[in-house]
Structure 1
Amino acid sequence: MASNLETINVPHLPSLPVHVALYRDVQNAAFLKGQLLAGNAEFEYALIDASMVLSRAHATAAVFRAVNDYMHNRLKSRNVHSEIVFSFNSTNNIAESFRRFGIADSTKDLLVVKVSVSPEITHESVAAHLGASVQGTSVPFDDKTLSEVSDVSKIKKVYKLGALPSPPKAIDQSNGTNDELKQRLENALLAAIALRGS
C-alpha cells in the first residue's frame, strides 16, 4: 500500500510533479527489477536501493538534476526515471550507476520515484499502482526513516569519501556533533551529484 506516497513540486520545475514512496521489508524486489529490465511501461519508475540514500536532500538533488536534464533535452540514459538513478552516481558510468544505486534482487528497502511526464500520471494513479505492485511496508520519506536504512559506510565507499568521519547510525538530535558530521557528509554527496561530469 502506498499510503505514504508524497508528491513533490521540484523548485524551478513546477510543471513536473514528482511522486516519491519509501518501502521497507520489500518481498518482491526481483519481480520489480524484472519488470523494469523487460521494459514494461507500467513499471517505468526510478527504483533505488534505499540503503544508498543518506537523506531526503541527497535523493531530491539527484531527482532535480535528472528532471532538469530531462527538461533541457540532456538525458544520457533512456528516460527521466533511469536518469534519476544515474544522477546519484558521481561518475558518468551508467551501468555502474545501476549496479550501485538501482534495485537489486536482494533489495529490502526501496525508494520509488515517478515523474509526471504525462497528464495521466497523477498522485492517485501512482498510489494505486504501487499499492498493487510493491510487496513491502510503506514508510515516510524523511530523514529519520532514511537514517535507519542508509548504509553510511557503503555510501562513503561509493562516493570515495572515506576520509570523512561517519555520523552514528541513529542520529541523536540532542548531539550537535552528530548533526554536523551528517551535514558534512550530505554536503559532500550533493557536491558530487552537482559536479558529475564537470
Structure 2
Amino acid sequence: MAEPTVLSYDTHPGRTLTAALFKDVKNTKDLRLLLAEGSLPEFAYINARVVLDPFVLQLAGHRALAAEGSTRMATKNIHTELVYGVSATKHVAESLKRFGISDDTTAVLVARFDCKPEELEAVSKRIEGQQVALSELGGLVDLELIDKYFKVSKQELQSRGRLDAVTFRVGAKDCL
C-alpha cells in the first residue's frame, strides 16, 4: 500500500493536527498575497526547509493548543501560533519571517487543527506544487539554515543528534 500524503496526529484530547507537504511550489508569492488578504483557507503555512522532522510540528502543535487553552497565545490565531511554535525564538515577527513562507519558498508544509477533507482539498488546489508524502520532508530540509536558526553548534552535534537539539529548543522555548 502506498504511503499517505496527508498525516493526522491526535495532539490533544479531541483535537487533531493534519499536515500535508508540497514541493516544487511555484506560487508562494501569490499565496503570501492571498494570505495577507485573508483569501486563503486558515492553515499554518510553513517553510518546509526549516522543519527538521514531523515530530517538531507535533511538538509545536501541543504548544499551540496549550497556549490557546491557557489564553496565552503570542499570535492572533491558533495556526499562526503553530508557525511561531516550530521556532526556537520568542520573537514572534522573526519566527513568522523565518518559518513562514516567503516569496521564494519552494517547499511548503501546511497544517490545520481539526481539518476536514474539503478544507485540505481547498488549500491543495491553491498550491501550485507537487504534494508528496510527509516522509520526504527530510530530503527537503536545509541543515545549514536549521543550524543557524536553532543555533546548533558542531560541538553539540558531536554529543547529540540535530533532532534532539531542535526539539529541546522548541520544547523549552519559554524556559530559555
- Runs of 4+ aligned structure 1 residues displaced above 4 Å come to none
Structure 2 equivalent of residue 21 of structure 1 = 20
Spell out the pairing of 1:96-135 with structure 2 (5 A cutoff).
Answer: 96-116=94-114, 121-122=115-116, 124-135=117-128
Spell out the pairing of 1:1-198 with structure 2 (5 A cutoff).
Answer: 4-10=5-11, 13-40=12-39, 42-116=40-114, 121-122=115-116, 124-142=117-135, 145-164=136-155, 184-198=161-175
What secondary structure is seen at the aligned counterpart in 1 of 2:5? coil
- Structure 2 gaps of 5+ residues are none
Shift of 1:4: 1.8
1:69-117 per-position Cα deviation (integer Å, ceiling 9, x unaligned): 122222110001000111122121011001111001111011000112x
Instruction: Please tell me the residue identity of whatever aligns with 2:134.
Output: F
CA RMSD for the aligned pairs?
1.9
Instruction: Please tell me the residue identity of whatever aligns with 2:84.
Output: F
Shift of 1:194: 1.2
Q: TM-score, normalised by structure 1?
A: 0.80
Q: TM-score, normalised by structure 2?
A: 0.89
1:142-185 per-position Cα deviation (integer Å, ceiling 9, x unaligned): 2xx1221000111001111122476xxxxxxxxxxxxx98x611
- Structure 1 gaps of 5+ residues are 167-179
Higher strand share: 2
State the alpha-carbon separation in 2 of the partners of residues 46 and 92 from structure 1: 18
Aligned residues: 172
Is the 1:6–1:20 Cα contact (8 Å) retained in structure 2? yes
